[in-house]
Structures are given as structure tokens and as C-alpha cells.
Amino acid sequence: MRDNKKDQLQGTLDLLVLRTLSTGGTMHGYAITERVQQVSREVLRIEAGSLYPALHRMEESGWVRSEWDVSDNNRRARFYTLTTAGRKRLSEEEEHWTRLAGAVTRVLKQA
């Protein structure tokens, strides 16, 4: 049995990563953290200790695939790309998040 709270947090991380990959195309891990940080106006920071296990887990689940390639700064980097299964997962996670966020907002406004 997985812990529910952990599940939710992990879900959020997955959502951020999947979403970033869906707009940014093929990216390496560092680019993903930079992009999330930038788009969230420095609010969300993803630590490497969370990001890389999540990426590897998602690759094992078939949501992303990876390959080694040369980066802009001429270094060997691992690049991640969203798969079809990942796209489907993303839409599920998005829907789930929207529902959750809506519910929390409603509670905050009315309770």
C-alpha cells in the first residue's frame, strides 16, 4: 500500500515534468528544472533528488523515453521525450489536478 500523501505529491511532480516535456519537446533533466522554475516565476523548484528518480520511474512506466545525445554546451546529456502513453497520462493528471484545485479553491472561498 502506498502512502496517499506521497502519492499526491508524486502526482504533482509527474504532472509538472510531463507538461514541461509536452510543450518543450525533447529536453534533458537540467533544462526541465530551469523551465519549471522560469515558468513558475521562481516559485517551484525541483530538486535533482526528486526529478531524476521521477524521470527514471516514468521511463520504466513507458511515459517518457530517453537517449544520450550531445547538448548545446557540447556535453553528453540524457534527453527525455514524451511518449504516446505519457501524453495520455498527462491529460489524466491534468484533469485530476484541475478537479483537485477547483475543489480546494471552492473550500477556501466558502468555508
Partner 1 sequence: MSFINRVLNRWREPALAREFDDELRFHFESRVDANLRRGMSRNEAEIEARRHLGSTLRAREGMREARVSGIIDDVAGDLRHGARVFSRKPWLSAMVVATLSLGIGASAAMFSLLNAALFRPLPFPDAGRLVALSDAIRGDERRVANPMIPELLDVRAASTTFEAISFFDTRDSQINGGAEPARVFAARVESALLPMLGVRPALGRLFADADGRSGSQFVAVLSDGLWRRNFGADPAVVGKSLVVNGLPHLIVGVLPQDFSIDYMTAEPVEIYLPYPMIPAYTSWTAEFAFERRVIAIGRMKRDATIERASAELDTISRAVVAAHPNIYRQIPQLKEGREPYVAARDLRASIAEGSSSSALVLLSMAVVLVLLIACTNTAQFLLAQSLERRPEVVVRNALGASRGRLLRQFLLEALLLAGAASVLGLVQAIWLTQGFRSLMPSFTPLIGTIGVDRPVLVFTVGVAVFTTVVCGLVPAWRFSHTTHLGTRGTVAGHERTRHVLIALEVAISMVLLVGAGLLLRSLQELQRTQSGYEADGVTAMRIRGIGGGASAQSGALGAVYQQYLDRIVTLPDIESAAVASLALPSRAGTGFSVAGSGDASTSRRDLGSYQIVSPGYFSVLRIPVKEGRTFAASDISGRPPVAIVNEELARRAWPGQSPIGRQITAGEGPRAATMTVVGVVGNIRTTFQIGDEPQMYASSLQQNEPNVLLLIRPAASTTVPLNAVKSAIWSVEPRQAVFSIRPMEELVAERTILQRAVAALIGGFAILAFVMSITGVYAVVTYLTSRRVKEIALRRAIGARSQDVVSLLAGPAFRWTMAGVLLGVVGAVLGSGLLRATVTGVIPLDTITVVVTGVSYLAVVGCAICVPALVALQIDPATALRSE
Give me the residues that bind partner 1 (CB under 8 A), please.
1, 28-30, 33-34, 47-54, 56-57, 59-62, 71, 73, 75-78
Which of residues 62 and 102 has its CB atom nearest to partner 1 in the complex? Answer: 62
Which of residues 2 and 109 has its CB atom nearest to partner 1 in the complex? Answer: 2
CB of residue 96 vs partner 1: minimum separation in angstroms? 22
Helix (H) or strand (E) holding 14: helix 4-24
Reduced to 3 states (helix: H, G, I; strand: E, B; else coil), residue 81 is strand
Longest dimension (CA), the chain: 55
Which of residues 52 and 91 has its CB atom nearest to partner 1 in the complex? Answer: 52
Return d(Cα 19, Cα 108) in angstroms, integer. Answer: 26
